Chain A
Amino acid sequence: MALLLKGARVIDPAVGLDGIIDIKIGDGRIADVGKDLDAGDCEVRDLAGMILIPGLIDVHVHLREPGQEYKETIESGTRAAAKGGFVGVCPMPNTKPVCDSGPRLRYLVETAEKCGYARLYPVGSLSTGLAGTQLSEMGDMVAQGAIAFSDDGRGVQNDGMMRRAMDYAKMFDCVVMSHCQSEDLVGNGVVNEGVASTRLGLAGWPAEGEEIQIARDIALCRLTGCRLHIQHVTTAGGVKIIRAAKLEGLPVSCEVTPHHLFLDEDSIDTGYNTNLKMNPPLRTKDDCAALQDALLDGTIDCIASDHAPHAAHEKALEFELAPFGTIGLETTLPLVLTNMVRSGRMSYARLVDVLSHNPRRILKLEPVTIERGSSADLTVIDPEAHFVVSVDGFESKSANSAFIGETLVGMAYDTYVAGVATLCSGKVV
């Protein structure tokens, strides 16, 4: 049956829309857009007071399946996506085994078809086993539905190997996503080199360990012509290098995570909260400010959660032994709404760009816009919903959030994938 979404404030900068308007959905697509549409025999959903935008895409998540299903599965991870307002996610290939071949990638696609609550756009590995030495079978993975390639979790250390990978990926017109980390410089660093490393007696992870590889990969982008997406940029210096590359006209994009936008190294105190252990690490307040500015001025294209679930017993280890990462699918939208939109720094139009349009553009997906004929992948936001981030409240199997205890305002209310609700009134369905 057709569905009429009534009375929401609909915002889509791609078609210049911002107003109270109705949307009719049929056969998975937007059938009509207009003021006071006639309900006819449609099911009517009253969304007065809500904000409706093109559905969110997260280009960087870890769903842990196969191999670490105790942390997350494709089912639980896509439930978390739906809860967070996301209609599609890009799982990274660092599963066990690594997603480095066609059949392994096919497994993800088929599993998501069976039990997914969001579209899955799998990212295959650049190198076999993430070892950074031998090219993965990218062609086979593309045939099975790979959207991009990355050795996320590690930087490709060998310059020649990275060049080959980018050269090879280019023929499939797939973007190469780069986790930038020079292992020589970073060593066993676990927190930002500077205040945190000195104060806590922990090995430092210097900003330059990231910036050196950003600069290298941009040079290789120039050399190969392969589209390059810099993952989780964290430093003012990295932003500067990317800004220059964009000015030059190179096909470079980048993402930032909510934790690098809104948390800094000072939040790690002698409680050694391992939920604040990230790779790359939380940086300085100045870096946060530079990242926020870059997100607003367009240097940073999109926000990605780097959703990294880990079991409680793993995060209960000594800081130096605990795994890196925080979950993020269910807090990304609320954090951006709370910290940037409500404060008036970011417009809803920019929010739609950085969470919806730009991720699709980076992945070369079919655009989703609020106009007739577009796929009905939609996110409805309740801008006034208050909630406290708590370990009990997640759809994700894991609760290792860096934001436990924070009060956030604004969250997803409904999520629609091809016109079918995956989230309804804040509940995954």
Chain B
Amino acid sequence: MISSKNLLTIEDFTPEDILQVLDTAVSFKDVNARAIKKLPTLRGRTVINLFLEPSTRTRTSFEIAAKRLSADAINMSGSASATVKGESLADTAETLSAMNCDLVIIRHRYAGAPGILARHMDARIINAGDGKHQHPTQTLLDLYTIREELGSIEGKTVGIIGDIAHSRVAGSLCPALVALGAKPIVIAPPTLMPSRPDILGAEKSYSLDDLLPDLDVVYTLRIQQERMDESPFPSLREYAMLYGIDSKRLQAMKPGAIIMHPGPINRGVELSAEAADSPRARILDQVNAGVAVRMALMYLMLGGEQSGSVA
């Protein structure tokens, strides 16, 4: 079983916990390939997808995972919930708690929000992305993909390229890679770099081309168009010129190295169409692993408990 009640930050899980999730996900991946994909494991359990920031892929992935385990999955989005009426997150948590749910998966635009839920309810909490802080389940599926494609995580060099400063994906991936013996390098212009990448355990570089031949994983991050107001770089054209993966850079990659991206991709910015569709790209494998990893996570976090049913 997992050593932590909740998954608020990736550091809540020991390396053993992480590997247990990945190992368990292998068998769920097989289930997902079957014609009949449903298991009775979490029958009678209530899982709430509390998505207070717009998200399609992560919410869908969690919903599919919960339903394939036969849990009752309810989606609450920002616009549908009480949050627009000015209810605090603490009050939302207590309201949900009063409905006896077993697991709440929360996506929120502010860092630390999952912790507020955890303080105000007994249900287990999974952080599905909190502000610019962390996105631990993305990290788990990323680790799954790296291990599946490269055989192991330990010793691998992972270049994470793009808007590191505002990236919850990098915020949880870097410390997890370090915990599992891999080497993260964050690659970005200084205007997209956090002030202390060393705190995340990552080396930093401004030059992709210097490092590209050494990377086992080329992990590109989405450039968020809404950040362009702050003008962190002169143009998308120049960004693509300096940091985009195009056919030339595809050639410069190490043999066997893979391209990853948390999605959704901006074709022509982070990745040229050629790169996005190349055999090196593992972007859809990440999405595929996401469902299995989230099933494994829910199974391990809820499956070992007694059923709450009195009937």
Contact = CB atoms under 8 A, between A and B. Distances in A.
B112 A193 contact: no
B208 to A, nearest CB: 21
Contacts of B168: 201
B111 A319 contact: yes
Contact of B111 (A194, A195, A204, A320): A320
12 contacts: A200-B133, A201-B111, A201-B132, A201-B133, A201-B168, A271-B115, A272-B112, A313-B88, A318-B89, A318-B108, A319-B110, A320-B110
Nearest to B113: A318
Given A199-B196, A201-B168, A317-B89, 7 more contacts: A200-B112, A200-B133, A201-B111, A206-B195, A317-B88, A318-B108, A318-B110
A318 B194 contact: no
Contacts of A313: 88, 90
A271 B113 CA distance: 10
Interface of B: 8-9, 11, 88-90, 108, 110-113, 115-116, 130-134, 168, 171, 194-197, 199-200
Contacts of A198: 194-197, 199-200
A157 interface: no
A270 B116 contact: no
A318 B171 CA distance: 18
B179 to A, nearest CB: 15
A129 to B, nearest CB: 25
A199 B111 contact: no
Contacts of B171: 201
B111 A200 contact: yes
A198 B9 CA distance: 14
Contacts of B110: 318-321
B197 to A, nearest CB: 7
Given A317-B88, A321-B110, A194 B132 contact: no
Contacts of A320: 110-111, 131
A244 interface: no
A9 to B, nearest CB: 46
Given A270-B8, A318-B89, A193 B195 contact: yes
Contacts of B199: 195, 198-199
Contacts of A319: 110-112
Interface in A272-319: 272, 313, 316-319
A101 B155 CA distance: 67
Contacts of A194: 195-196
A121 B130 CA distance: 44
A177 to B, nearest CB: 30
A250 interface: no
